[in-house]
Structure 1
Amino acid sequence: MSGENGIATEILNNSTSDDSTEHEFEPQFEPIITLPEVEVSLNEEHEEELVKLRAKLFRFDTTDVEQSQWKERGTGEVKILKHKENHSCRVVMRRDKTFKICANHFITPWMSLKPSFGSDRAWVWTVMADFADETAKTECLAIRFASAAIANQWKEKFEEAQKIVTEQCDLYRNNPVGDSITDSGQSSEEDPESPKQEAKKDEQKGDEKVSSASSSVTDTKETESAKEVTDKLANLDVTK
C-alpha cells in the first residue's frame, strides 16, 4: 500500500507542476500587418486656447412648438479659441469618446450670457449661426459646469473673447474700405512705398514727360521758323 501511495503522490505532483507551467505561459502573437499612425488635424493649428473646461451642453428644441424642451447635446471639453492672425474667437466643444463636434460658433460682441433659472453653475445664450451640424443654424444653447466657480471662470473668458473681437471690429471700422491694416494699426496709405503712392509718382512722372515733350516740340517749331526768316533775309538783293 505504501508503494501505491507513493506512486499516486508522484503522479499528483507531476500534474500540479504541469498545470502551473501552463498558467505561466503567455503566448504573444506578432501582427501580420503593421498599420502606420495617422495624424488627425483638428483645424486648430492657427488658434490659441484661452480656456478649456469640462461641461455638459444642451440645446432648446423648437421642432414641436407645443412640446418645446431642452435636450442634451453632449458632454465633453468645451474650449474658447482665438485666431492668431485675425483675432477672431470661437467656441468649440467635442463629445467624449466619439469626439464629435456638438458646438462650433464664433463669439460676437452682441452675445449675452444669461444665468440659468435655479442654477448658479449654468449659462444660456443664443447663437445666430452654429456649425456643429456642418450647416449654419440658429440655436439657443445652455451649458452646465461642475461648480459655480468653474461657471464664473467660463463667463470671464467668454467676456474676454468678446473684448478682443470688439477691439478688432473697431480697428477695421476706423479705416477706409480697401486700406489694409498693418501690425502697427496704420493704414497702407501712410507707407511711402505703398502701391498707391508708387502709382501716383508714376503718373506725375508721365505728366512731366508729356509736358517736356510738348515744350521741346514748340521750341523746335520756333527755331525752324526763325531759321526760315533768316534765310529769306540773306537772299534779298538790297539795292540803293
Structure 2
Amino acid sequence: MSMQKSHEGEKQLLSINIKESKEYEQEEESKFKCRAKLYRFEKKENKWKERGVGDIQIFQHKTSKRCRVLMRREQTFKVCANHYPASYIKFKQNEGNTKSWIYNVKDFSDGLAKDEILFIRFLKEEDTIKYKKVFEECVEINENLPKKTEETEETEKKEEETEKKEEETEEKTKEVEKKEKTEEKPKEKTEETEKKEEETKEVEKKEKVEEKPKEKTEEEKK
C-alpha cells in the first residue's frame, strides 16, 4: 500500500470528530498506559523539539471499537499526541536506542491532521516493546472495522442537520416564550393599577354621596 493511499484512508478516520474532553475518554477503554517523553521533528529548524512529558495511552472506543493513541502533558493535561494506529506507520529506533520509537504519522493533537515525525522515549525497554505490540494489534483492529458507506455517511449527515435544526427551533421557542413573559409583566401591572384606580373612584363617589345629605341637613337647619 502506498503512503498516499494510506494517508487517504487515515484522512477518512480523522474526519470523525475527536473530542479533547475527559467525557469522551470515559467512553474508551485503555489498552496501554505508560509514562513517556514525546518529541516532534521541526523540519524548518532541522531538529527535534520536545512536545511533552506525561502518560501515553492507547484507547479503544467501547462502541465503535476504533483505537487511537492519546497523550496529554502532565499538569496542564493538554493533548500533545492524538492519532490512529494505521498500517502505513513504520517503527524505527533512534540510532539503536532500545527505549525509543520514531515514526511518521498523521497527528490530530492541534485540531487538524498534520504530517508529523514523532519520537517517543520510554523509561524501560519492556514498555517500548509493549507499546509497539499493542499498537500493531490496534492497527489490525482498525483495518478490519467495517467501512462507512456513502449512504451511511449521508444518513448521519442528515441526522446531524435534523438535530441542529431541532436545537435551533428549541432555542427560538425559548426566546419567544421569554419575550412574551417580559411583555406580559407591564400588562399585569397596568391591570392592577386600573383596578386600584377604579376602587379609588368608587370610594370617592361613595364619600361624595354620603356628604351631600349632610350638607342639605345643615341648610334646612338654617
Both proteins in one fold, TM over 0.5: yes
Counterparts in 2 of 1:164 and 1:62: CA distance versus 1, 3 Å: same
Instruction: Deviation per CA, 1:89-114: give whole Å up to 9, x if none.
Output: 11100111111111111221221121
Shift of residue 172, structure 1, vs aligned partner: 3.6
Task: State the partner residue of 2:30.
Answer: 49
Rounded to whole Å, the distance in 1 between the matches of 2:150 and 2:108 is: 29
2:101 to 123, 126, 131: 123
Question: CA contact under 8 A between 1:92 and 1:101: conserved in structure 2?
Answer: yes
Q: Any conservation in 1 of the 2:100–2:120 contact (CA below 8 Å)?
A: yes
8 Å CA contact 1:109, 1:165 repeated in 2: no
Residue 132 of structure 2 is matched in structure 1 by 155
Tell me the SS of whatever aligns to 1:74.
strand
Alpha-carbon distance between aligned partners in 2 of 1:57 and 1:107, rounded to the nearest angstrom: 17
Q: 1:187-223: per-residue Cα shift (whole Å, max 9, x none)?
A: xxxxxxxxxxxxxxxxxxxxxxxxxxxxxxxxxxxxx
Corresponding residue for 1:138? 115
Aligned to 1:156, the other structure's residue is in SS state: helix
2:24 partner SS = coil
Q: Residues 125-177 of structure 1: CA distance to partner in whole angstroms, max 9, x if unpaired?
A: 1112x222222211100101011111001111111111111221xx449xx76
Moved over 4 A (4+): 176-180
TM-score between both structures, scaled by the size of structure 2: 0.55
Gaps of 5+ in 2: 1-20, 154-222
Q: Name the structure 1 match of 2:62.
A: 84
Q: Which structure 1 segments of 5+ residues have no match?
A: 1-39, 181-240
Structure with a larger share of its residues in helix: 2
The corresponding residue for 1:166 is 143
The SS at the match of 1:43 is helix
State the shift of 1:179 in Å: 7.7
Look up the equivalent residue of 2:73 and give its one-letter code: R
Which one has more relative contact order, counting CA pairs under 8 Å at least 6 apart? Answer: 2
Question: Which amino acid letter does the alignment assign opposite residue 58 of structure 1?
Answer: Y
With over 3 angstroms needed to count, the CA separation of the structure-2 counterparts of 1:177 and 1:94, relative to structure 1, is: closer
User: How high is the TM-score relative to the length of structure 1?
Assistant: 0.51
Aligned to 2:41: 60
